[in-house]
Amino acid sequence: MNREKRNKNKFEKNILCIGGGYVGGSTMAVIAQKCPQYKVTVVDINPNRINQWNSDNLPIYEPGLDKIVHSIRGKNLFFSTDIEKGIKDAEIIFVSVNTPTKTFGAGAGMAADLQYWEKTARQIRDAAESNKIIVDKGTLPVKTALAMERILTATDNDIHFDVISNPEFLAEGTAISDLTNPDRVLIGSRETPSGIKARNEVVDIYKNWVPEDRIITSDIWSTELSKLTANAFLAQRISSINAMSALCEKTDANVNEIAHAIGMDHRIGDKFLNASVGFGGSCFQKDILNLVYLCRHYGLDEVANYWQSIVRINDYQKDRFIFNMLHTMFNTLVDKKICLFGFAFKADTGDTRESPAIYISKKLLEEKAELIITDPRALENAKIDLNDTDGKIRYIEDPYKASTDCDAIAVMTEWDIYTKLDYEKIYQSMSKPAFIFDGRDILDHKKLFEIGFNVFPIGKPKLSHFKDK
């Protein structure tokens, strides 16, 4: 037996993941940790990403991930750029490449851009020398699996591929706990003997640590649509509470009181009811737009309009925030120094994809304000996001230094550190009148007001020192 064969046989299964992003990287780290009997390899077309995965500085920040990767990398978890070899060696291939919203052609701004997925399917087909199970980890439009099957089977070799849908429900910042203790794992396949056999092989992976009653198997179309529906429902809750926040600001009601009161109704529940400057992240908007596109495709305009309104309210919330700043600061922001507390789309991640902070920064720059951006993890991404903008921007990690001489602070991300700062000291260092716009409602507004700030929360009465309020 040659050495390569012996190494291959050391493990019960060879699992490959194509795409080493947030989803692929975190999921494979947890699978490898929970299943030492499997060899897990992550490949990516981006060699920098792979170098980072093999270094001390992982390409993504996710609490708990470093520890796992460092403890098993080189044992049963490997990162490589050799996609072809990875495909040949693996029995099960997870695909976790990005599927952003299309920016061109038919369905631009709505439909999913499937070019990477399709290229990946062709790559698998061309390199495979034996039967494979292909597991789609992404959020894809319903019936994508069918298209994948067609590409994979469009050759005259007799290699058999089973396409399985196993959408990911992890949220960034809590990815490791979401993966180790999931509410449910969803695995869909064709309901043919071969499809069901392949599905069971994927179930077997998760059974290593997930209780069986939390592993749901289903047909592939329901599985794909469940993922879109889950994200649409979650985003809908945020848009619903954000819509109420606008009404609260007009009527002096308090949106937190409302969220608390309705959340205690078990039928509603208390999660995802935090009013905010708007939701961001790589999935919510993309998935809802996908759903809208799908509904329009099937002539269901009313249904499409219903879901599209979730995105409209989200845009409205961001616009309201800017308008409020402009209006409050005497209708001009020209040369005013505005310090953004946070740039990530949520706390505990360095990810800024679709972060409301991007849109708000651009609008503030259009008003000719000067921006000082601070964030404990996301400054590098912020620089990339605002790379093509004109205007004055500084990036400063220390929030005290960042806010010095500023006219206003706008909280964009609910980082815990912002609740623990010495606001007396910050107030002393700022221009007066000093304003705080709390886009996440995380600060002690009464205390800030007593210090001297003019405070503008989301969905709560403003606390202003101006007589003409």
| Residue for token pair 């999660």 | 271
CB-based contact 423:453 (threshold 8 Å): yes
Q: Which is nearer to ligand UDX, 308 or 381 (CB)?
A: 381
Question: Shortest distance, CB of residue 121 to ligand UDX, whole angstroms?
Answer: 10
Shorter beta-carbon distance to ligand UDX: residue 35 or 255: 255
Helical packing angle, 22-34 and 65-72, nearest 10°:
60
Q: Scanning the structure block, which residue is given the tokens 């509410």? A: 183
Q: Is 283 a catalytic residue?
A: yes
Name the residue among 17, 22, 55 with its Cα closest to residue 349: 22
Q: Which of 35, 283, 295, 339 is catalytic?
A: 283
Identify which of 397, 426, 392, 391 has the alpha carbon closest to the alpha carbon of residue 409.
426
- The length of the chain is 469
Residue 174, classed as helix, strand or coil, is coil
Least gap, CB of 428 to ligand UDX (angstroms): 30
C-beta closer to ligand UDX: residue 113 or 407: 113
| Closer to ligand UDX by Cβ: residue 137 or 336 | 137
CA atoms within 13 A on the CB side of 176: 16
Q: For residues 210 and 273, which CB has a smaller minimum distance to ligand UDX in the complex?
A: 273
DSSP structural state of residue 420: S
CA separation (Å) from 258 to 80, 261, 279, 458? Answer: 50, 5, 19, 13
Checking DSSP bridges between strand 408-411 and strand 435-438, what pairing results, if any?
parallel
| Phi-psi region at 299: left, alpha or beta (left = phi > 0; alpha = psi -120 to 50) | left
Place of tokens 């020192």: 465
Binding site for ligand UDX (CB under 6 A): 18-24, 44-46, 49, 96-99, 116, 119-120, 137-139, 168-172, 231, 234, 238, 272-274, 276, 279-284, 345-346
**In this chain, which residue has its C-beta nearest to ligand UDX?**
21
Chain centroid to CA 185: 18
- Residue 134 or 238 having the CB closest to ligand UDX: 238
d(CA 341, CA 357): 9
DSSP class per residue in 116-151: HHHHHHHHHHHH--S-EEEEE-S---TTHHHHHHHH
Instruction: Provide the minimum distance between the beta carbon of 87 and ligand UDX in the complex, in angstroms, as a whole number.
Output: 12
| Partners of 132 in the β-ladder | 161
* Residues with catalytic roles: 283
